[in-house]
A and B are shown apart, each in its own frame.
Chain A
Amino acid sequence: MGGSQADTLAQGMKMTTQSLSRYRFLQSGRGWLFPIALLLIWECMSRQSAEHAYAFASIPQIYHGLVEIISTGELQQGIVASLQRAFLGLLLGGFAGFIVGIIMTQWRVADVIIGPLYHMLRQVPLMGLVPLFSLWLGNGDPSKLVVVCLSAFYPLVLATYESLYQVEVKYKEVGDVYKLSRWQAFFKILLPAALPNIFTGVSFALAFAWLATIGSEILFSAGAGLGNIMMNAQAASRMDILIVLTVLIGFLGYGMNFIIQRTGRYFFRWRNLR
Chain B
Amino acid sequence: MSIGIRVALGINQADPVFRRRNQLRLVAFLSPLAFILLWWWVSRMEIFPTQLLVSPDAVLLAFLELLDSGELWEHLSVSLSRLGTGFLIGASSGLLFGILMALSRTIEDLFAPLFQALRQVPSIALIPIFILLFGIEEVFKVAIVVKAAFFTVALASYESTKGIPRHYFEVAQAYQLPARKLYTSVVIPAILLPVLTGFRIAFARSWTILVAAELLAADSGLGHMMQMGREMFRIDVVMVGVVLTGLIGFGIDRIFKWGEARLIPWRKA
Contact = CB atoms under 8 A, between A and B. Distances in A.
A233 to B, nearest CB: 7
6 contacts: A34-B114, A125-B246, A214-B122, A218-B216, A246-B129, A250-B122
Contacts of B159: 14, 17-18
Interface in B216-242: 216, 223, 226-227, 229-230, 233, 235, 238-239, 241-242
A112 B131 contact: no
Given A17-B163, A38-B114, A128-B223, A204 B8 contact: yes
B35 A31 contact: no
A128 B245 CA distance: 7
Contact of B109 (A18, A30, A242): A30
A122 B52 CA distance: 21
B113 A31 contact: yes
A215 B223 CA distance: 14
A155 B12 CA distance: 11
Interface stretch (B64-72, B170-178, B180-188, B205-213): B205-213
Contact of A159 (B3, B52, B122, B216): B3
The secondary structure that dominates the B interface is helix
Contacts of B129: 234, 239, 242-243, 246
Interface residues of B, number: 73
A39 to B, nearest CB: 11
Contact of A7 (B2, B212, B226): B2
A161 B14 contact: yes
B25 to A, nearest CB: 11
B125 A129 contact: no
A35 B12 contact: no
A21 B109 CA distance: 9
Given A34-B111, A117-B32, A162-B14, A123 B128 contact: no
Contacts of A25: 109, 112-113
A180 interface: no
Nearest to A227: B125
A253 to B, nearest CB: 6
B10 A158 contact: yes
A86 interface: no
Contact of A128 (B6, B13, B122, B241): B241
B215 to A, nearest CB: 6
Given A25-B112, A215-B212, 10 more contacts: A10-B163, A31-B111, A112-B30, A120-B35, A123-B250, A125-B208, A130-B215, A197-B3, A246-B125, A246-B126
Interface stretch (A70-78, A131-139, A181-189, A266-274): A131-139
A210 interface: yes
Nearest to A8: B2
A246 B35 CA distance: 40
A200 B14 contact: no
Nearest to A26: B113
A201 B3 contact: yes
Contacts of A128: 208, 211, 223, 226, 241-242, 245-246
A247 interface: yes
A211 B12 CA distance: 23
Contact of A55 (B7, B124, B132, B243): B132
A64 interface: no
B10 A119 contact: yes
A127 B111 contact: no
Contact of A127 (B211, B233, B238): B211
Contacts of A132: 235, 238-239, 242
A129 B132 contact: no
A76 B32 CA distance: 44
A35 B118 CA distance: 10
Given A161-B12, A218-B216, A30 B110 contact: yes
A63 interface: no
Highest count of chain B CB atoms <10 Å: which of A8, A124, A162, A239: A124
A233 B132 CA distance: 10
Interface in A63-118: 108, 111-117
B45 interface: no
Contact of B227 (A8, A131, A218): A131
B259 interface: no
